[in-house]
Structure 1
Amino acid sequence: MNNLVITVDKRQKEKIKAYYTAYQQPSNNPYVEAFFKVDGVSITLYQSGKVMFQGEHANLHAQKWGYQAEKTTPKQDLSQQVPMIGTDEVGNGSYFGGLAVVASFVTPSDHAFLKSLGVDDSKRLTDQKICQIAPLLKEKIPHQALLLTPKKYNEVIERGYNAVSVKVALHNQAIFLLLQKGVAPEQIVIDAFTSSKNYNRYLAQEANRFPNPVTLEEKAEGKYLAVAVSSIIARAMFLENLAQLSHEIGYSLPSGAGKKSDYVARDILAQYGMAGLEKTAKLHFANTQKAQALLSHRK
């Protein structure tokens, strides 16, 4: 799905509103002056003068109002200096532990506080640092956190979800629930884990929808503080879940999906059978078969 942005003056804004008046729909976003849906394209006119066109034929409508592909792209238009929702997930690449997805709402007035804490992409921070600042972020920053435990993860995979579609569902739900709390973002950015085409294909299967345009951008956790906050809270949630599962199963569960995970999974299989892995691990990972092979060789 195309996601295009232009900036217009007051005169152009009035022309756009008049042109699409028959297609206007309500919007609860206080930063939105008018919202339209026409020919499968969503058109959002912000009070700031920005106009967002989203949909398969977004370029056809955007070009009517001066859009030029070589000069204006969505990524160039994204800015830290607006209220933003950013989302990220942690646990996707780890065999043990759940999948944590967080959406956070950050405004420019939060930036000084976040920088004073050293907020950055969670991949650049130690786990100790993450666990120190995550409670402060959770208290100060409006957010919505979702944790899919390994047991629940395995259940939804059995129901027909896959590793990508389950993340689409969680990111969409986190944003939807955060918007329900009354926050008013001018931009929503997801740390990209798939293409926009794939995201929207899976999104069509989800019941909870919202009209706000969404941008998927690679390595967004290192570019936008809203995404960085989400990555930190999500990492802390994942670590807490991994520690809890370790305590319950009686084994120290490693993060990641390396050889260490194979051997721990083998030992869990030996003591608890598949029920032990169903509770602690993502069964569709290749580690499951490797652990079963290791156990058969040991016997």
Structure 2
Amino acid sequence: MNIHDLHSAATAAETLCRDLGLEILEQKEIPYGRQFKVRHGGAGAIFNVYYGKKGLNLVVQGADNEAKRIVEGELFTRMRGGAPVKAEVKPRKTSDRPVQEIEAAYDEPWMGTDESGKGDYFGPLVTAGVIVDPDAVPLLRSLGVDDSKKITDAKIPGMAAEIRKICYGRYKVLSLKPEKYNELYEKFTSQGKKLNSLLAWAHASVIENLLETQPVNLVIADKFADESLIENRLKKLGRTVKLIQVPKAEQNLAVAAASILARDALLRWHSEAKAQHGISLPKGASVQVIQAGKTFIKNNGRNHLRHVAKLHFKTTEDVLLCTD
């Protein structure tokens, strides 16, 4: 049976299901392919038909039963299934500069990590990780999961709540509040390390915690420095996974979901800080941020600045200028 495109592959799968006595309960679109939910007698199975760079891929899910054995055996054999593509990175040009585009096949769970608050003077550094399995992909797509920077702050809390439901038990959020962040930054710099080492520590900690929950073979993260920083940290922890770090990693669904969870935690901190201190502590490092810092010191004193701000920012010099 020669299959040249997704439509003919899906049609062939439908025909083979009927020929092999499999009842199709449901079929739906997934990225680059189609998913079938089938039943044989009282046994059920789910299989994906999709295209990767190496051609047609077929992946079956579910417990070992008669339906799964028929799919794995006769159906896949007759459709001439090949080895699935786990993940690939390919360059392209956008706006006259090369960027990296991640394409991941959704045949097995994988993890994405991202952080929020790195460039904000006020607030925590939040790092989040999410494991996405094949069944969650269409749900996250329908939710509109994307890079959190493309989503308004008003929509973030609701989307984050849905992601936590869809990926229940398969996400971690590490929020380094300013006081703890400053403590760790000072510790790392005293050892001759830079900010990127702290970022790598945060990502590796989230990855390690999630791997204890559910092992995966692939982790995708945004490239913020030499990727060996995270790799070396994971090796020290005794973890071996395929780690892909590229710019604009939020193009990947799991990374995008992580970015939303991280952003949600950052927004909640800002809301709580405003309620606690009676003033807004803006994001970023603008003139408004400097003025807010001066107001905060006037109300609370210099010693309390480390509880709300990342002190190593140059902004601190401006905030402390002409304050008692």
Q: TM-score higher than 0.5 here?
A: yes
2:136 maps to which of 110, 121, 137: 110
Instruction: Note if 1:168 corresponds to 2:210.
Output: no
Residue identity matched to 2:134: P
Distance in 2 (alpha carbons) for counterparts of 1:50 and 1:79: 8
- Is residue 222–residue 250 contact of structure 2 (8 Å, CA) maintained in 1? yes
State the Cα deviation string for residues 42-65 of structure 1 (Å, max 9, x = none).
Answer: xxxxx957799xxxxxxxxxxxxx
Residue 195 (str. 1) matches residue 223 (str. 2): no
Alignment of 1:182-221 (within 5 A): 183-200=214-231, 203=233, 207-221=236-250
**2:104 paired residue number:** 79
Q: Which residue of 1 aligns with 2:119?
A: 93
* 2:239 counterpart SS class: coil
Alignment partners' CA distance in 1, 2:220 and 2:182: 28
Q: Which residue type is aligned with residue 271 of structure 2?
A: A
2:153 to 119, 127, 132: 127
Shift of 1:273: 2.0
Matches within 5 A, 1:1-299: 48=83, 78-82=103-107, 83-141=109-167, 142-161=170-189, 162-181=194-213, 183-200=214-231, 203=233, 207-222=236-251, 224-295=252-323
| Aligned residues between the structures | 228
Determine if contact 2:115/2:128 at 8 Å carries over to the other structure.
Answer: yes
Q: CA deviation at 1:128?
A: 0.9
The code of the aligned residue for 1:177 comes to N
| TM-aligned CA deviation for residue 272 of structure 1 | 1.8
Which structure would you say has the larger RCO, counting Cα contacts within 8 Å and 6 or more residues apart?
A: 1
1:263–1:155 Cα change, 3 Å: same
Kept in 2: contact 1:87–1:191 (CA 8 A): yes
| CA gap 1:280/1:110 in 2 versus in 1, 3 angstroms | same
| Structure 1 residues 250 and 207, CA gap change in structure 2 (3 angstroms) | farther
The answer to whether the Cα contact below 8 Å between 1:176 and 1:209 also exists between their aligned partners in 2 is no
In 2, Cα distance between equivalents of 1:239 and 1:76: 28
Question: Residue deviations 1:120-165, cap 9 Å, x none?
Answer: 1101000111111101111221111110000100111121253211
Letter of the aligned partner of 1:276 in structure 2?
A: H
CA distance 1:77–1:192, change in 2 (3 Å): closer
Evaluate the alpha carbon distance shift between residue 118 and residue 78 of structure 1 in structure 2; reply closer, same or farther with a 3 A threshold.
Answer: closer
Shift of 1:267: 1.2
Question: Relative to 1, partners in 2 of residues 1:263 and 1:285: Cα closer, same or farther, differing over 3 Å?
Answer: same
Query: Which amino acid in structure 2 is aligned with residue 194 of structure 1?
Result: A
Two-structure CA RMSD over aligned residues (Å)? 2.7
Deviation of 1:174 after TM superposition, in Å, equals 0.4
- Name the % identity: 30
- Measured against aligned partners, the alpha-carbon deviations of 1:252-274 in whole angstroms (never above 9, x if no partner) come to 11011111111111111222222
SS in 2 for 1:172: helix
Local SS of the residue matching 2:155: helix
In structure 2, runs of 5+ residues without a counterpart are 1-53, 55-81, 88-99
8 A Cα contact 1:102 1:234, kept in partner: yes
Which structure is larger by alpha-carbon Rg, 1 or 2? 2
* TM-score using structure 2 length: 0.64
More strand by share: 2
1:147 counterpart letter in structure 2:
S
Compared CA separation, residues 77 and 272, structure 1 to 2 (3 A): closer
Q: Any conservation in 2 of the 1:249–1:276 contact (CA below 8 Å)?
A: no
TM-score, scaled to structure 1: 0.69
Cα pair 1:98 1:242 within 8 Å, conserved: no
- What secondary structure is seen at the aligned counterpart in 2 of 1:128? coil
Q: Would you say the 8 A contact 1:266–1:294 is kept in 2?
A: no
Alpha-carbon distance between aligned partners in 1 of 2:86 and 2:254, rounded to the nearest angstrom: 22
Structure 1: unaligned runs, 5 residues or longer: 1-6, 8-46, 53-74
Once structures 1 and 2 are overlaid, which stretch shifts more, 251-260 or 154-163?
Answer: 154-163
Query: CA–CA distance in 1 between the matches of 2:122 and 2:286?
Result: 11
Q: Which amino acid aligns with 2:212?
A: Q
In structure 1, what is the Cα distance between the partners aligned to 2:305 and 2:210?
32
Which residue is equivalent to 2:13? none
For 1:184, the aligned partner's letter is P
